[in-house]
Structure 1
Amino acid sequence: MNSFHLYQLLIFQNVSEALSSKYVSHKWIKKIENDRLLSAISIPGTHQSNRYLKTSKPMFQAWGLHNQLDAGVRFFDLHVSSDSIKYVKTGSVQESETLNYFLKTMWTFLLKQKKEILLLRVTPDEGAVAQVTKLLSRDNWPVWRDKVIPTLGQVRGKIVLIQSSTLELGLPVHITELNADMDTKETQMRENIKKASQKCEQEMMLTYTVANGESEPLKIAKTLNKQVDNYLLNLKGDKNRPHCVGIIAMDFPGPKVIQTIINFNGKLWEGTHISSCNLCN
């Protein structure tokens, strides 16, 4: 693989556990006005956000939670089994302590970045619903559980819950996903983002651009993430450019596609140099 193709791979689809400091985006939501509805901003997210350990097969992310947060990801997607809120031995971030670990890490991040907002969608299995509901209902977490879409000013410094198929705490959301037809994934992705852009000013919209039902999420992300990036950049020049595209949740997102989504909230940068992200720092 030559250096150009390696560069493309790294910026669109992340395969490295490390995050370069030049791609850190701690404060981008801070720069958006308080009176804008949460649904009306464009938010980069990760699918199966906790599946980054080498023991997690298949893996869906290369970065752990700290690097996802540092890169500007603000939506997180967790699937929780019935034993996954039990605490295991200190110092080992096992899948079985993921929810507690995520809540503590998110809270620590928000204590430092008080103007940011984190969105969390938890899908517990049938045996975990009661435990997860109890945990997320505790007053000691800075959590927004209401069903009414807030303004940014109302939820700065908070974790906003997004409803899932098994958990009704938080905001209802309209979800679009890709089917398993590889030949039409790009067309599906474009149609789903377009649909989200038409409704996001009044409704929470979540677009999964991931390998739904596929066994090779890394291979599919290599193509899809670049297509997402190209499509959003093409929308930039459209005279009828939408104001928002909602939440876009990805497998293995790299810094460029994350920054492209972030920049949809303001003036998109001129040219293609990744470090000119307007809202990131």
Structure 2
Amino acid sequence: MRYGIVAFSLFGLAIASTGCSRDAVDVDFSADAGRAIRFEGRCGDATRAVPGDPADGKVPVYWCDGDAVSVACEQATPSVGRYVLTCPDEFSVSASFGSGDSQQWGEGLHDFYAFSPADAPDLEISGDGTVKASLPSVQECRDGLLDPALLYLASAEEGISPESSVVTLHFRPVVTLLDISFAASEATEVRQIVVRSTQAGEKLAGTFVYDLGADRLGRVDGGSNVVAVRMLQSDGTPGVKLAAGESCRAIAVVLSQSSFVGLRVDVVTAAGVAGRSCAEPLVGGKRYAIELGALPAMNDAARRKLYASWMSYLPDDALLSALSIPGTHDAATSTLNLWSKCQSLSLGAQLNAGVRCFDLRPTGTDDLMIYHGTSTGVTFDEAIAAMDRYLAACPSEGCIVQMQRQGDAGNDATFRSRMGDYLNSSSAYRDRFVDFRPDLTLGELRGKILVLTRSDYDGALVGGKIASWQDDVTDQISSIVNGSASAKLFIQDKYGGTTGIDNKKNAIIAYLDKAREKAESEWLFNFTSLATAVVTTPKSNARTLNPATCDYLKVHPGCTGVVMMDFAGDTDVSGDELLRAVIDQNFYCHLPCVR
């Protein structure tokens, strides 16, 4: 074996890489055609199972008993075999292959293509030297150790004679390892490490095609330019708690490219986010040590940065239906009085605080004025314009509008005509709108607005239609549709004056439980708003319901669906804590993605 080491200094990131060259194949002419083929695997510094610490310019990564390898050969019978490895000691650079799915020699020279692990997601290996597999964009790092099942390796041995007694497969890495370390300047809880490529179209994870013979990554389908590594304790508990001065390590696995340009690493903590970027190219298929040093103390700016662009720290292929999304009930009512006021912040301020779903209720007037008992002074177009401005500044984010006609002014015919015209043609923001699909991803929502309407309008449907929405119900099953596309929708929107605040609290909690249990592709809206009686106001009810919802999430974390709250971001009624608690579920809990 020949080893190499390369060192870079990139904006405070110390980066070292190691490589491994292929050895020549040893041929022993002693077997006959038609006999079982025997394999062994070998590689000195880049095998699959257990990564060790760099030493003498090498990064030892060892085979372990039970590792599985798939071997494909068009000239052999069968053409693909699966083998379980046997190692001579606990950590080994060599292994023998069990007879499991034994392949037999055929006529002529043989080309062997091997891939490890044999049980990689979506694995398809063919005898022509191509492999298809999937690298997840959400990974897990437990006590600084990564899942060895993600350390994909490939081998290509071509032109082997059937007279060979043993075929030695020399493995090389398909993926790139980023060994990230940092220290805490203050006591904190680390929830997630995020690796992002700032280059458009560069995918760090997803379903990929790899040419084993040419050692080249080909097409990457779907996928993400963001890899999120969940930080777990040794027992699997989410979040790693660090004392001041304590160090932490995580390993991220990303797909090999010819080079990476514009890579950024961010550390998401309970108090905010911090990280660094590097502009120099990193060669794919290596292992890099990335030293972030001591994280800066998290302040209000670090917290605002995290929540103002929280979607940017999540993978593109995350299912939109599986996200935890904070929303605002009667979103445009910050200008109204005590009885009709449901929000303190303007739409622009809500967006900056992290709100991503907006309940808008335009009337059947020519200007589609939004009402809640009285005019808010905000038209539907002005609300969309506020989202447009925000998305232009933060293209990593996306918005959802849950819209219905409010009957306080105008008429249904005018609403149908004006809204249909606006969504289909007259809006200056027509290109912002995206159509609904059950498997819509965050990447497809970035920079876009998904309009889900409860009210019919003229012209083509833009976004999606909520098929039914009964008034003042604790639990309703509906659906979101667009043509033949449909997804189940659960709705909790009990707000009536006879409900009682304890009953409302129980309804909210029941739907938080339902959100954790629902299928990944199912949608859920959970309203925390309540209008109980003349002696209470939306704000006085929020003063009880917001902290109660937040407290329950602290004890029962998980996907929340869309939580439509009153006074989001308002510190006076814990609206700021609830908003952040909903967003935090995306970093704290497993996030399902399209595969």
- TM-score normalised by length of structure 1: 0.76
Cα 1:187/1:202, change in 2 over 3 Å: same
Instruction: Specify the alignment match of 2:49 in structure 1.
Output: none
Bigger shift: residues 63-72 or 154-163: 154-163
Root-mean-square deviation (CA), in Å? 2.4
- For this pair of structures, how many residues does the alignment match? 237
Q: Are the counterparts in 2 of residues 84 and 99 from structure 1 also a CA contact under 8 Å?
A: no
Is 1:153 the counterpart of 2:443? The answer is: yes
Instruction: Specify the alignment match of 2:463 in structure 1.
Output: 170
What secondary structure sits across from 2:364 in the alignment? coil
Q: Distance in 2 between matches of 1:84 and 1:109?
A: 26
Q: Distance in 2 between matches of 1:218 and 1:23?
A: 25
Runs of 4+ in 1 over 4 A off after TM superposition: 20-23, 165-169, 212-215
Instruction: Specify the alignment match of 1:227 in structure 2.
Output: 548
Deviation (angstroms), 1:166? 4.4
Deviation (angstroms), 1:21? 5.9
One-letter amino acid of the structure 2 residue matched with residue 144 of structure 1: V
For residues 164-186 of structure 1, what are the alpha-carbon distances to aligned partners after superposition, in whole Å with 9 as ceiling and x for unaligned?
A: 25466424143212252323121
Q: Percent identity?
A: 26
For residues 38-64 of structure 1, what are the alpha-carbon distances to aligned partners after superposition, in whole Å with 9 as ceiling and x for unaligned?
A: 000000110000111035851000111
Q: Are the counterparts in 2 of residues 50 and 98 from structure 1 also a CA contact under 8 Å?
A: no
Equivalent of 1:54 in 336, 343, 350: 336
Q: Of the two structures, which has the highest relative contact order with CA contacts closer than 8 Å and spacing of 6 or more?
A: 1
Equivalent of 2:356 in 74, 84, 94: 74
Between structure 1 and structure 2, the one with the greater Rg is 2
Q: Distance in 2 between matches of 1:56 and 1:123?
A: 23
Is 1:119 the counterpart of 2:409? The answer is: no
Q: Are the counterparts in 1 of residues 310 and 583 from structure 2 also a CA contact under 8 Å?
A: yes
Q: Are the counterparts in 2 of residues 26 and 69 from structure 1 also a CA contact under 8 Å?
A: yes
One-letter amino acid of the structure 1 residue matched with residue 554 of structure 2: L
Instruction: Specify the alignment match of 1:265 in structure 2.
Output: 586
Q: How does 1:65-144 map to 2 (within 5 A)?
A: 65-83=347-365, 85=367, 95-125=376-406, 126-127=412-413, 128-138=415-425, 140-141=429-430, 142-144=432-434
Instruction: Specify the alignment match of 1:249 in structure 2.
Output: 564
Unpaired stretches in structure 1, ≥5 consecutive residues = 1-19, 88-93, 237-241, 269-281
Q: Are the counterparts in 1 of residues 332 and 376 from structure 2 also a CA contact under 8 Å?
A: yes
Q: How does 1:174-213 map to 2 (within 5 A)?
A: 174-179=490-495, 180-199=499-518, 201-212=520-531
Q: Are the counterparts in 1 of residues 529 and 566 from structure 2 also a CA contact under 8 Å?
A: yes
Q: Which has the higher strand share?
A: 2
Deviation (angstroms), 1:104? 0.7
For residues 119-146 of structure 1, what are the alpha-carbon distances to aligned partners after superposition, in whole Å with 9 as ceiling and x for unaligned?
A: 1111124341331132122374201133
Q: Which has the higher helix share?
A: 1
One-letter amino acid of the structure 1 residue matched with residue 318 of structure 2: R
- TM-score normalised by length of structure 2: 0.37
For residues 66-107 of structure 1, what are the alpha-carbon distances to aligned partners after superposition, in whole Å with 9 as ceiling and x for unaligned?
A: 1101110111001111127258xxxxxx73542111111101
Unpaired stretches in structure 2, ≥5 consecutive residues = 1-299, 370-374, 407-411, 465-479, 481-488, 569-574, 590-595
Deviation (angstroms), 1:156? 0.8
Q: Distance in 1 between matches of 2:423 and 2:311?
A: 24
